[in-house]
Structure 1
Amino acid sequence: MDKWKNDQSRYLAINATDENWGMVVTTIGCQFILPQGEYPSSHHPEQYNLKPQTGRVLNEYQLVYITQGSGYFSSQSCKKRKIYGGTMILLFPGEWHNYYPDKDTGWDEYWVGFRGSYMDQQVERGFFSKKEPLHQIRLSATVVGLYEDILKLAVQEKSGYQQIISGIVMHILGTVYYKEKNNSFSNVDVIDKINQARIIIKQTLEESLNPEDLATQLGLGYSWFRRVFKEYTGVSPVQYQLQQKMIQAKEYLNDPSSTIASIAYRLGFETVGQFSTFFRKREGVSPTKFREMMRLPENIEKE
């Protein structure tokens, strides 16, 4: 079967309930451009029509995944660049952009359009930027499968389908962020050191290992270790250690045979009061209150 026969596109109806969800999907589709083929290959509504000679501006976000071939991309915030299979393009509302396949290679393209407060917030918080619209996530059958799932659900149009397909878009966004974040750490030895550090921290919670000593144990300078650890995990070694202590404290509190005093000392706190202050600051309730909240009501039998 010729590739072009598989081209598909859907433009979706949206109601007020969908808008209240925080994200709505506006369009989903795919097109497969053969070498020397016409681009775009099929007719689209005027507001979506992309003319390589002039580009376009959309009033929504789009995730355009190029899985095969090569071509070119440019936008108001990004100079013209050559792109290849494995590139995810993130388009922004109100941002002029242009992209098209190389005549010699063509390309395979999947797209999904969406808008809503959820994505607006992710952009405001710095997770995604107009200045960096190209994301190298390589070829992923899983991501292609997510696009295909959206298309299948959009065709069926069952009740509540907007909510599930917008959730899939969030999944794609999370995958893009995760893959690019990890791709930026190409030095396997560095990643191994960070993972080793996390294991040691988890194993020494009751010893309150000093992060400087941990860096020395790993044969690293502390300043460099702290910076790279935070870049990779999002928190400093000290913060990570405190997070793990909090997780362990909750596990101990679920054991009725452990007193709060014994938990405090096991986790390296000098006094019960110090432990209670630490716990309340992070959980919003005292250890005693947390333990009460975790208990089953007396009228419910434990299985």
Structure 2
Amino acid sequence: MEDSIHLKYLAVGPNDLLWGMAVNSVGFQNVKAGEPYPPQGHPSRYLFTRERGRTLDEYQLLYLTRGKGTFKSASVPNSVSVQKGSFFLLFPGEWHSYAPDSDTGWKEYWIGFKGPQMDTWVKNGFFTPAKPVWNVGLQSDVVELYMEAINTADKQESGFQQRLSGVVSHLLSLAWFRARNEAFSESAQQMNKAKILIADKYNTIRPQEIAEHLCMGYTNFRRIFKDYTGFSPAKYIKLVRMNHVKEALTNTNLPVNQIAFDAGYENEDYFFTAFRQHTGMTPLEYRSFTQGK
């Protein structure tokens, strides 16, 4: 493989998209300081200038491992900085422009793809044109995945598009996961402490006690905890309690009322109602089902 640039453009058949996602292009390019951008060698539909930009009919996920530059798009009209350790996602039908700074250049990896699976993730709000850039730092596993995609595209063995689809899914999940945790870098330790407290004292602890233990105001704690976990503290505690109940029903023969009490349910009627709402079954029906009776 050439060290400065490696490009692979792929044909996508209708059956490939039935898998849910298919890859159109993959590669890397190492642009030195002062070199023109983008380099020659791309098909005409991929070429653009910083001033004119371009619009693609596919998604592209780019990752920088050296240098810095700028990015803007129809949804982000003011230029934002991108640098080594940055992901940025291009959306089909969305005008965009990006380029390295002339005094640094950059090294970029990219993979272009399309398909209904990605469309669904966008529709459900996991990825949005309004927030296309994530700074996650230099990650060796990310580079390894891009190189795996490049090697797979080079060989084009039977079923290679399905394998490439898996690599894209892995890259997207890493980008989303790392960016999300980077956003919580200052509060992650406190939220993990909260989760440990709940795991240790799920049957007695109240959300307000957790906030007090962390020296946080409850309103602020509740907001950050819900953003971090997807659940309010009270809902999270209920889920942990219910999971302990289900585990005890499956793995022991303890009486149902004792299991409920041990999990923190003091009102038996409330427990039975909550359990049926959660599982669609009574506790005894759940026990019979999970124990194979």
Is TM > 0.5 for Structure 1 vs Structure 2?
A: yes
Give identity over the alignment, percent: 38
1:196 matches 2:193: yes
1:43 matches 2:37: no
Q: CA deviation at 1:202?
A: 1.0
Q: CA deviation at 1:109?
A: 0.7
Q: CA deviation at 1:57?
A: 0.4
Instruction: Please list, as runs of the form range in 1=range in 2, the aligned pairs for 1:98-113 lying within 5 A after superposition.
Output: 98-113=97-112
Q: CA deviation at 1:257?
A: 2.3
For residue 226 of structure 2, the aligned residue among 230, 235, 255 is 230
1:182 matched to which residue of 2?
A: 181
In the alignment, the residues of structure 2 paired with residue 259 and residue 18 of structure 1 have an alpha-carbon distance, to the nearest angstrom, of 53
1:73 matches 2:63: no
**Preserved CA contact (<8 Å) 1:24 1:163:** yes
Q: Deviations over 1:49-78 (max 9, x none)?
A: 233342110011110111101222221121
**What secondary structure sits across from 1:32 in the alignment?**
strand
Instruction: Please list, as runs of the form range in 1=range in 2, the aligned pairs for 1:1-303 lying within 5 A after superposition.
Output: 3-4=3-4, 7-78=5-76, 79-187=78-186, 190-207=187-204, 209-296=205-292
Moved more, 45-54 or 26-35: 45-54
**Preserved CA contact (<8 Å) 1:260 1:272:** no
Partner AA of 1:253 in structure 2: L
| CA gap 1:259/1:165 in 2 versus in 1, 3 angstroms | farther
In the alignment, the residues of structure 2 paired with residue 206 and residue 2 of structure 1 have an alpha-carbon distance, to the nearest angstrom, of 60
**Preserved CA contact (<8 Å) 2:241 2:264:** no
**What secondary structure sits across from 2:49 in the alignment?**
coil
**What secondary structure sits across from 2:79 in the alignment?**
strand
**Preserved CA contact (<8 Å) 2:181 2:188:** no
Question: TM-score with structure 2 length normalisation?
Answer: 0.91
In the alignment, the residues of structure 1 paired with residue 284 and residue 14 of structure 2 have an alpha-carbon distance, to the nearest angstrom, of 44
**Preserved CA contact (<8 Å) 1:71 1:100:** yes
Q: CA deviation at 1:296?
A: 5.0
Q: CA deviation at 1:90?
A: 0.6
Question: TM-score with structure 1 length normalisation?
Answer: 0.88
In the alignment, the residues of structure 2 paired with residue 290 and residue 176 of structure 1 have an alpha-carbon distance, to the nearest angstrom, of 38
**What secondary structure sits across from 2:48 in the alignment?**
coil
| CA gap 1:146/1:196 in 2 versus in 1, 3 angstroms | same
In the alignment, the residues of structure 2 paired with residue 84 and residue 135 of structure 1 have an alpha-carbon distance, to the nearest angstrom, of 10
In the alignment, the residues of structure 1 paired with residue 63 and residue 12 of structure 2 have an alpha-carbon distance, to the nearest angstrom, of 24
Moved more, 228-237 or 7-16: 7-16
In the alignment, the residues of structure 1 paired with residue 282 and residue 83 of structure 2 have an alpha-carbon distance, to the nearest angstrom, of 54
Q: CA deviation at 1:254?
A: 1.9
**Preserved CA contact (<8 Å) 2:260 2:266:** yes
| CA gap 1:48/1:288 in 2 versus in 1, 3 angstroms | farther
